[in-house]
Amino acid sequence: MRVAAIYDIHGNLPALEAVLADVRRASVDRVVVGGDVFPGPLSSEALALLLELEIPATFIRGNGDREALAIADGAEPASVPERYRPAMRWVAETLTPEHRRIVGSWPETARLRIDRLGEVLFCHATPRSDTEIFVRTTPDDRLAPIFEPAGALLVVCGHTHMPFDRTIGRVRVVNAGSVGMPFGEPGADWLLLGPGVEPRRTRYDLEKAAERVRATSYPDAREFAERSILKPPSEEEMLSLFSKAEIR
């Protein structure tokens, strides 16, 4: 079985369309959507495209999906930083009752058996949390108590939007990167699994994608077009920022 892992789409519909074209060319048997379809400028459209996908798909819920769903259900976004709340409310208001029901059914983790890789655990951030932050430089001793009890020799995650492949104790941990909001080089990152582990980057028309985003009424449309599509933050910038919030 060949599996495409696509994470952190964040409503970047042009990036998702390009990635799915590459996924089809790769002749995969299943797609794993690893959380954070939202928030972003074309979140409902991205979700609709994924739900119509002709390839069997497994979905897990990310923190962005969870927060958008909670707001749509009437909760106050207390855990969302103030500057991001208008965008989260905007996304929540675009969700149909059926979309809310579907997203609410997504689990926090999923397991698949993949040829030559064995049982693979898919989570959004870590096996125990959809918000914990760790990166390629986080010391092993902080992470071993989280990943060694997970019961899988390969764990695929996302959340921090930067691909990496590292071993923590006996567990190989691979970050699939982000389809819609990469940090580092522009493009759309995803992962091809089976029989090996192959990081993929899909190129797409960034200028046209930015135009489509700016044409939406998403509150942060212009910033998203500039900072998530055309000129993403560097890996060094984000590693410095995440170092203040990573697992201790």
CA gap 61, 66 in Å, rounded:
7
CA gap 77, 84 in Å, rounded:
10
Pairing mode, strands 3-6 and 30-33? parallel
Phi, psi of 122 (to 5 degrees): -105, 125
Pairing mode, strands 30-33 and 57-59? parallel
Q: For the chain, give the number of residues.
A: 248
Residue-range definition of the domain harbouring residue 129: 3-242
Q: Does 207 map to a domain?
A: yes
Q: Does 248 map to a domain?
A: no
Q: Does 13 map to a domain?
A: yes
CA distances from 54 to 12, 37, 67, 115, 179 (A): 20, 18, 28, 22, 19
Environment class of 196 (CB within 10 Å of its CB; exposed 0-12, middle 13-18, buried 19+): exposed
H or E segment to which residue 190 belongs: strand 188-193
Q: Does 247 map to a domain?
A: no
For residue 87, the SS3 value is helix
CA gap 198, 176 in Å, rounded:
10
Find the CATH number of the domain harbouring 38. Answer: 3.60.21.10
CA distances from 154 to 12, 94, 200 (A): 28, 36, 18
Environment class of 17 (CB within 10 Å of its CB; exposed 0-12, middle 13-18, buried 19+): middle
Q: Does 105 map to a domain?
A: yes
pTM for the model: 0.97
What's the number of domains the chain is made of? 1
Closest Cα partner for 16 from 67, 60, 66, 52? 52
Q: Spell out the per-residue pLDDT of the chain, length 248, in tens.
A: 999 999 999 999 999 999 999 999 999 999 999 999 999 999 999 999 999 999 999 999 999 999 999 999 988 877 888 888 999 999 999 999 999 999 999 999 999 999 899 999 999 999 999 999 999 999 999 999 999 999 999 999 999 999 999 999 999 999 999 999 999 999 999 999 999 999 999 999 999 999 999 999 999 999 999 999 999 999 999 999 999 999 99
